[in-house]
């Protein structure tokens, strides 16, 4: 959230009890000095996760320098260079805290050793917009069907780093994903994983990008390889054979790639978070076989897990069938790995291509609910304004029909342990136990959810400050609590 506070405004927040239980403000301990409080509130603009903690239910969550639990939510941007400053400003104005920025090796290094200065400048520009509007950004090293040699435009691995052994490639215009199983694409992935010179060149590219971007305040970190794929054995139409090949890839070639890329980034950047992705089979309920990874940075690891959350049938154009068990199977498939290795989950992509149909509208709601139980953050696919497709906004600039739950209020920072969070029909409720020190809990209040303003109440001793939403800025509830309390915060339309 983008919040700017003056000392006078903070004094007002600390002295005014607004819509809370009848507990005098003086009952709150004075241990949180005005300077400390100011630091916490203004840090909302940066909200960088400096660490993580594991909650009693086994979920690992991001924490800031004050020990508050952070939730990161937002959208994917810039895959096709269409993102503008107005888009980034609008994402922030809707109360989101995160963008996922897709970049392409083919665009940035179109010839071996030659970096496109225009593309680098464009990337810096997008990151600078995120800096300006108080967003965090995770940079996604993107690929679709390997790269441009196989019809992917200029996205993915450059042609000069594509070795297909002269094998055939016949694209299927009705099924782009089938391209992954073409002999030429399989060969290209095998060479990328196995050839010593391509390994080194890929690592050099990651080091160069990390060196370029490390000065941006907004940089959360890197999603190391989008939707990884590779050589597959057996019949790809056989689910068992496909799962066995994916497991072999994750345990072997892909794990080795991630180790190289972690090392490459860490040569120049010890601050960022680094996220590993499983294969897309997780969307079919297949648990990952990725091993544990070591972070060479000094101090605690900053590693995370970044699965995607797509239903195959919905991606193929069907309306979601709530009886198919997809959400339950997916949740079960992704739980064990991050719990075993204490990794925060950042769902890098999710969302149906058309949220307007009855089943897909329900799918969006169910996915938002599910992610609140296992994810430390998410970025929906995709931020754009239009009449269909994946666009999060309709032609009128309002949330696309069916995407309402995406634009709901949510706790961006909790001074304690979050227990429950729910939003239905304009009523938002957050329940949490406070931590060992006084602190601020903050909830984003989007104007689309509360167009006429918001009323905030709490149970338990708390001081509340409300920044009412406006058409060009999400509002916020800031709740100052003392240690050892159970607090229920409720937001309703005013």
Q: 254-265 pLDDT, tens per residue?
A: 999 999 999 999
**How far from chain centre, in Å, is Cα 151?**
27
Q: How many CA atoms lie within 13 A of 236 on its CB side?
A: 13
Q: How confident is the model at residue 154 (pLDDT cuts 50, 70, 90)?
A: confident
Instruction: Kindly give the residue spans of alpha helices, DSSP state H, lying in 342-402.
Output: 358-374
Asked if 66 and 40 count as a contact pair (C-beta separation under 8 A), the reply is yes
Asked if 322 and 301 count as a contact pair (C-beta separation under 8 A), the reply is no
| pLDDT greater than 90 at residue 470 | yes
Mean pLDDT over each residue of the chain, to the nearest integer: 90
| pLDDT greater than 60 at residue 93 | yes
- pLDDT at 11 (0 to 100): 31
| pLDDT greater than 80 at residue 21 | no
Q: How confident is the model at residue 113 (pLDDT cuts 50, 70, 90)?
A: very high
| pLDDT greater than 50 at residue 148 | yes
| pLDDT greater than 50 at residue 10 | no
- Condensed to tens digits (0 to 9), the pLDDT of residues 294-339 reads 999 999 999 999 999 999 999 999 999 999 999 999 999 999 999 9
Which residue spans within 64-162 are E strands per DSSP? Answer: 69-70, 72-77, 98-103, 136-141
Report the alpha-carbon distance of residue 206 to residue 316 in Å, rounded.
33
pTM above 0.75, yes or no: yes
| pLDDT greater than 80 at residue 41 | no
Please state the rounded mean pLDDT for residues 436-459: 95
Tokens at residue 297, please?
A: 């940075």
Report the alpha-carbon distance of residue 273 to residue 286 in Å, rounded.
25
Q: How confident is the model at residue 203 (pLDDT cuts 50, 70, 90)?
A: very high
Sequence spans of domains, the chain: 1-45+412-494, 73-407
* Angstrom distances, CA of residue 381 to CA of 20, 321, 406: 37, 20, 11
CATH code, 73-407: 3.20.20.80
- pLDDT at 81 (0 to 100): 78
Asked if 92 and 412 count as a contact pair (C-beta separation under 8 A), the reply is no
Q: How confident is the model at residue 388 (pLDDT cuts 50, 70, 90)?
A: confident
Asked if 208 and 115 count as a contact pair (C-beta separation under 8 A), the reply is yes
Please state the rounded mean pLDDT for residues 192-221: 98
Asked if 493 and 475 count as a contact pair (C-beta separation under 8 A), the reply is no
Residue 299 CB: number of other CB atoms within 10 A? Answer: 9
């Amino acid at each position: 959230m983008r919040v700017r506070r003056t000392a006078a405004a903070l004094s007002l927040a600390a002295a005014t009890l607004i819509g809370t239980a009848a507990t005098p403000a003086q009952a709150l301990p004075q241990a949180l000095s005005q300077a400390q409080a100011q630091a916490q509130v203004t840090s909302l603009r940066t909200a960088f996760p400096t660490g993580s903690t594991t909650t009693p239910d086994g979920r690992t969550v991001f924490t800031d320098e004050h020990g508050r639990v952070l939730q990161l939510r937002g959208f994917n941007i810039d895959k096709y260079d269409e993102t503008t400053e107005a888009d980034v400003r609008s994402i922030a104005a809707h109360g989101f805290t995160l963008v996922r920025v897709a970049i392409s090796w083919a665009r940035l290094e179109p010839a071996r050793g030659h970096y496109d200065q225009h593309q680098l400048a464009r990337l810096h520009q997008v990151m600078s917009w995120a800096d300006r509007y108080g967003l965090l950004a995770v940079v996604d090293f993107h690929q679709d069907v390997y790269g441009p040699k196989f019809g992917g435009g200029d996205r993915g691995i450059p042609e000069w780093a594509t070795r297909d052994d002269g094998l055939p490639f016949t694209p299927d215009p009705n099924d782009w994903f089938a391209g992954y199983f073409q002999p030429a694409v399989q060969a290209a992935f095998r060479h990328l994983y196995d050839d010593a010179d391509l390994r080194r060149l890929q690592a050099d590219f990651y080091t160069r990008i990390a060196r370029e971007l490390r000065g941006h305040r907004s940089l959360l970190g890197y999603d190391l390889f989008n939707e990884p794929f590779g050589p597959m054995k057996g019949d790809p139409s056989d689910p068992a054979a496909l799962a066995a090949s994916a497991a072999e890839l994750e345990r072997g070639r892909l794990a080795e790639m991630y180790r190289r890329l972690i090392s490459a980034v860490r040569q120049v950047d010890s601050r960022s978070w680094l996220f590993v992705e499983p294969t897309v089979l997780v969307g079919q309920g297949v648990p990952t076989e990725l091993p544990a990874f070591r972070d060479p940075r000094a101090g605690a690891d900053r590693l995370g897990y970044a699965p995607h959350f797509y239903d195959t049938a919905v991606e193929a154009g069907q309306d979601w069938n709530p009886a198919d068990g997809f959400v339950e199977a997916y949740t079960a498939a992704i739980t064990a790995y991050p719990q075993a290795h204490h990794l925060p989950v950042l769902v890098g992509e999710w969302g149906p291509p058309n949220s307007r149909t009855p089943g897909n509208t329900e799918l969006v709601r169910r996915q938002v609910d599910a992610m609140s139980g296992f994810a430390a953050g998410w970025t929906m696919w995709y931020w754009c304004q239009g009449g269909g497709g994946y666009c999060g906004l309709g032609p009128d600039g309002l949330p696309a029909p069916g995407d309402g739950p995406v634009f709901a209020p949510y706790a961006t920072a909790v001074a304690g342990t979050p227990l429950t969070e729910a939003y239905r029909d304009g009523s938002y409720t957050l329940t949490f136990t406070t931590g060992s020190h006084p602190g601020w809990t903050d909830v984003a209040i989007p104007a689309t959810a509360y167009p006429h303003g918001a009323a905030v109440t709490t149970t338990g001793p708390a001081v509340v400050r409300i920044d009412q939403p406006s058409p060009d800025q999400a509002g916020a509830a800031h709740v100052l609590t003392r240690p050892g309390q159970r607090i229920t915060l409720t937001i309703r339309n005013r």
